[in-house]
Amino acid sequence: MVDPLNKRDETVRTAATLQPSPEAQSPEQKLQTMLSALWERSRHTVAERARLLQSAGELWNDNRLDAATKLRAVDSAHKLAGVLGTFGLPRGTDLAREAELLFGQSTPPGKAEIERLQVLLAELTRLIDRGPNPPV
């Protein structure tokens, strides 16, 4: 007969061995652990910037984007472009850069530009919601 307490101890020991202690981690594992923790702390700010871009995009689509909101959109897109690559989301960097360029242009947007912005912001939002995928 198996003693359930011993089985539980074995399960705890097994689970503990699956996660190497910080001292036993390789430099790459340590970096990934630190980046994962940083992502969890930054996720809210990143998502907030993406929401600001979505709102600005809707205003742009309705031809109601004021200069101050446009400037905040350019700034948010610029910051997202810089940080998303750090978290292993290079596609997010590309999308945010494109949004920064679109929001930063001095001429009023055409229909194609507005449609492109909507598509890239939707993809950017999905990517941020999903978050970085840790290496296997």
- What span, in angstroms and rounded, lies between the C-alpha atoms of 28 and 9? 30
Residue 17 has pLDDT above 50, yes or no: no
Range(s) of the domain holding residue 65 = 28-130
Whether 34 is in a domain gets the answer yes
High-pLDDT (> 70) share of the chain, %? 82
In order of 40, 60, 70, 91, 95, the CA distances from 131 in angstroms are: 9, 27, 26, 12, 15
Count, residues in the chain: 136
Answer yes or no: is 8 within a domain: no
pTM over 0.85: no
Res 14 pLDDT > 60: no
Specify the CATH number for the domain of residue 81: 1.20.120
Domains in the chain, number = 1
Q: What is the dihedral of CA 126, 130, 132, 136, to 10 degrees?
A: -130
